[in-house]
Structure 1
Amino acid sequence: MARNIMIQGTSSSAGKSIVTTSLCRIYANRGISVSPFKSQNMTRNKVKLEDGSYIAGSQVVQAESAKAKPEYSMNPVLLVPKTDTGSTLILKGAEYRDYEARRYYSEKSEFKSAVEECYRDLESRYDLLVIEGAGSPAEINLRENDYVNMGLAHMVDAPVILVGDIERGGVFASIYGTAMILDESDRARIKAFVINKFRGDVDILRPGIEELENRLGIPCLGVLPYTEINLEEEDSLISGTAGERIDDDELRDAEYEKLACFVEKHLDMEALDRIIEGKE
């Protein structure tokens, strides 16, 4: 059975996609067969695959980073916004129906089986699944019937790395608050945290990091400095009109390598390996 690791964030745009994409390439470069997985994505950037199915552009990017062929199982539930309160649901690569937000959330438990089916399919064919959450697990109003954050982590028995964005301010509070608002079983899934988008001298952060490690009982895997990388959060390497991808394969691959080297330099990969292996 494949091993897995899940990347969750304290908020949207905390850096989940960047960390997920980088880990896909880091482990693929080790000769491991890797697949990304994001159970649900909401974006206007859908990409049509060779078989006619659709997934989010960011999962196409992650598949490329993993040196894997993109497929709908990597993103079984895709919501394409149409209005402020409504979206078109694409289920397992095919357009399913339009939903208003209230109805979707009342019926979302129906899609949980499709999510698990797609995950189990990938699990049977890959050695490592790098899973990306959505939004934040701290949205406890959405915890019931959840299959995108902690609900998914429990479903597939995945250890979680929590990413916080220091650029917004209050990163220690956001990491601590996210962990502590969860119930005990969900909180136990979090094995480490990462601080993203830091500018300045990392030594200034160390007292806060050590205090947070002591309070939560988990380590900081690293601090990622702010950097300019040609990969957007949800619309990675997608340019202009939704679905119009930059068509320079070498340029995209160079960006994946650049990102992987950057993240590998700043994260404790040995500690992450132990988490994935279930030793921490």
Structure 2
Amino acid sequence: MKAIMIQGTSSDVGKSVICTALCRIFANDGFKVAPFKSQNMALNSYITKSGGEIGRAQGVQAEAAKIDATTDMNPILLKPKGDMISEVILHGKHLANMDAISYRESFVENVMPEIRKSLGRLSEQYEILVLEGAGSPAEINLKARDIANMRMAHETDASVILVADIERGGVFASIVGTLALLDDEERARVKGVIINKFRGMKELLDSGVEWLENYTGIPVLGVIPYVDVQIEAEDSMALSSLRLKKPQQQEFAIDVAIIRLPCISNFTDVDPLFEEPGVGPRFVSSLKDLKHPDVIILPGTKNTVEDFLWLQENGLAQGILQHAQKGGKVVGICGGYQMLGEVIRDESAIEGSGGTYLSLGLLPIETHFVTDKQTVQVQGKTVTGHDVKGYEIHLGRSVATKEITPFIAFDDGRQDGVYTEQIIGTYVHGIFQNRHFTRDYFNRIRNEKDLELVAEDVVSDEDRREQAYELLDEHVRQHLNMKKVYNLIHLSV
């Protein structure tokens, strides 16, 4: 198996997107390719067909590679819970909650055999492995126990391409500084550089590129112009950096307030709303910013109890109740759904210090937290008649306290959520990615507001993602010297 690794000068430089592009390029060129990231820290996760939980980036990259994702592609997933504690997920399943010191001192070295097993299984199935690093490989205080960067390059004998983000400034210093902090063996693995997210005239950058190549002796394989290809983000840093998450610059016919919870997770659930005609989603973290929306969305969270207490402390809980009392619509997804109920019981202190909490009381359910996490892909039909699919990730189990109308009837016979004309609660992540459901949901609001309805002929989310992968292939292939990339892995096309 041939291996190439994408590392970055820092977080959020575009490593995941470059890996996604390479997965699609190699797949389109006829190779069996798979993504790999030994250790990922992210709040946006992906559920495999077998019910394993991995980083969302590796799920997206597998899709770009035209294969099914498996837990071998991301054997360790860390999901921050706050106070330097993270949930450790090993091979797709919850292992333990660990503090940073315990993880580094007692877990990292012991888990290397499991990582090697994953690499071994992937090597038996695929011709090319596209590895993604984490953060920077030059964090000198972390390098001794860094199992996501250069150690993986050594394990797989991978050539490393270093990616730097020119948009944030200081691109040459970040590249030179990163290389300077690597030891000789590590630096020798860096075979090329990519300057990413470029805006402007490339001619004005040429002299800098020439200097960089002469100074470092490492070729610049590509200068990739910025492009928004609508590929799901993984890191919550993207909430403040992506175009989709910037403050509104205009008024929209339908105003949607998304509560930006401190422990927000799987925030890509709301991405389709930014593409719905006449709908203006905005993230809200204070009562004064709530204003008078048509819809409030309570998204998923890594810590329902902590985020619900935050809602109460900053007044947003009361704002949501007043909105509902006036007939405003509310949608709760996963942890947000739990908050819409009457009671949250955490007697075993699974999410916090333990206890019973009175929640918003907008839906007749109570939630009990259990140690067995539900992780599964699902599909079914909504009470409004739409075929939908998505995935569940939750520790809580919610039961009705009186007769309800379930929101979804799953194909496996189970039922999910609660539906009223005003309020929807569901455990299904990705509900809005079902574009026919989403179009109908907002058409009902358009009808109530005497707005013109929008046609039901929508492009499916699968087709949108496929278009995005092909666009990414074309864009990166145009600006990256793929002949040199293939030379690095001793292949030719």
Per the shorter chain, which TM-score range? over 0.9
Residue by residue over 1:89-141, the C-alpha shift from the partner in whole angstroms, topping out at 9 and shown as x without a partner, is 00011110001111111121111111111011101110000000000001122
What is the distance in 1 between the residues matched to 2:163 and 2:10?
Answer: 9
Flag structure 2 segments of 5+ consecutive residues without an equivalent. 239-266, 271-298, 301-390, 392-428, 435-460
Question: Does structure 2 retain, via aligned residues, the 8 Å contact 1:145–1:151?
Answer: no
Pairwise CA RMSD: 1.7
SS of residue in 2 equivalent to 1:98: strand
Question: Does structure 1 retain, via aligned residues, the 8 Å contact 2:153–2:160?
Answer: yes
Amino acid at match of 1:267: L
% of aligned pairs identical? Answer: 46
1:84 to partner: Cα distance: 3.8
What is the distance in 1 between the residues matched to 2:114 and 2:210?
Answer: 41
Question: Does structure 1 retain, via aligned residues, the 8 Å contact 2:20–2:64?
Answer: yes
Considering only CA atoms, is the larger Rg found in Structure 1 or Structure 2?
2
Question: Does structure 2 retain, via aligned residues, the 8 Å contact 1:179–1:187?
Answer: yes
For 1:269, the equivalent position in structure 2 comes to 482
1:48 to partner: Cα distance: 2.2
> How many residues matched?
278
1:278 to partner: Cα distance: 7.9
Comparing 210-219 with 228-237, greater Cα deviation is found at 228-237
Structure 2 CA distance for partners of 1:33 and 1:278, relative to 1, 3 Å: closer
SS of residue in 2 equivalent to 1:95: strand
Amino acid at match of 1:124: E
What is the distance in 2 between the residues matched to 1:84 and 1:42?
Answer: 15
For 2:402, the equivalent position in structure 1 comes to none
Amino acid at match of 1:213: E
Question: Does structure 2 retain, via aligned residues, the 8 Å contact 1:5–1:276?
Answer: yes
Residue by residue over 1:151-189, the C-alpha shift from the partner in whole angstroms, topping out at 9 and shown as x without a partner, is 111111110000000011000000011011110000000
Amino acid at match of 1:143: K
What is the distance in 2 between the residues matched to 1:232 and 1:250?
Answer: 14
What is the distance in 2 between the residues matched to 1:226 and 1:98?
Answer: 38
1:142 to partner: Cα distance: 1.4
Greater relative CO (CA pairs within 8 A, separation 6+): 1
For 2:468, the equivalent position in structure 1 comes to 255
1:233 to partner: Cα distance: 4.0
For 1:226, the equivalent position in structure 2 comes to 226
1:232 to partner: Cα distance: 4.0
Amino acid at match of 1:271: K
Question: Does structure 2 retain, via aligned residues, the 8 Å contact 1:115–1:147?
Answer: no
Question: Does structure 2 retain, via aligned residues, the 8 Å contact 1:153–1:160?
Answer: yes
Amino acid at match of 1:176: V
1:66 to partner: Cα distance: 0.3
For 1:25, the equivalent position in structure 2 comes to 24
SS of residue in 1 equivalent to 2:268: coil
SS of residue in 1 equivalent to 2:117: helix
What is the distance in 2 between the residues matched to 1:271 and 1:67?
Answer: 24
Residue by residue over 1:43-74, the C-alpha shift from the partner in whole angstroms, topping out at 9 and shown as x without a partner, is 11122222121111111100000001110000
SS of residue in 2 equivalent to 1:227: coil
Q: How does 1:105-184 map to 2 (within 5 A)?
A: 105-107=104-106, 108-184=108-184
Question: Does structure 1 retain, via aligned residues, the 8 Å contact 2:43–2:234?
Answer: no
What is the distance in 1 between the residues matched to 2:151 and 2:130?
Answer: 16
SS of residue in 1 equivalent to 2:145: coil
SS of residue in 2 equivalent to 1:239: helix
For 2:81, the equivalent position in structure 1 comes to 82
Amino acid at match of 1:275: L
For 2:4, the equivalent position in structure 1 comes to 5
SS of residue in 2 equivalent to 1:81: strand
After TM superposition, the score normalised by the length of structure 1 is 0.95
Amino acid at match of 2:483: E
What is the distance in 2 between the residues matched to 1:82 and 1:261?
Answer: 38
1:81 to partner: Cα distance: 1.0
SS of residue in 2 equivalent to 1:68: coil
After TM superposition, the score normalised by the length of structure 2 is 0.55
Comparing 50-59 with 244-253, greater Cα deviation is found at 244-253
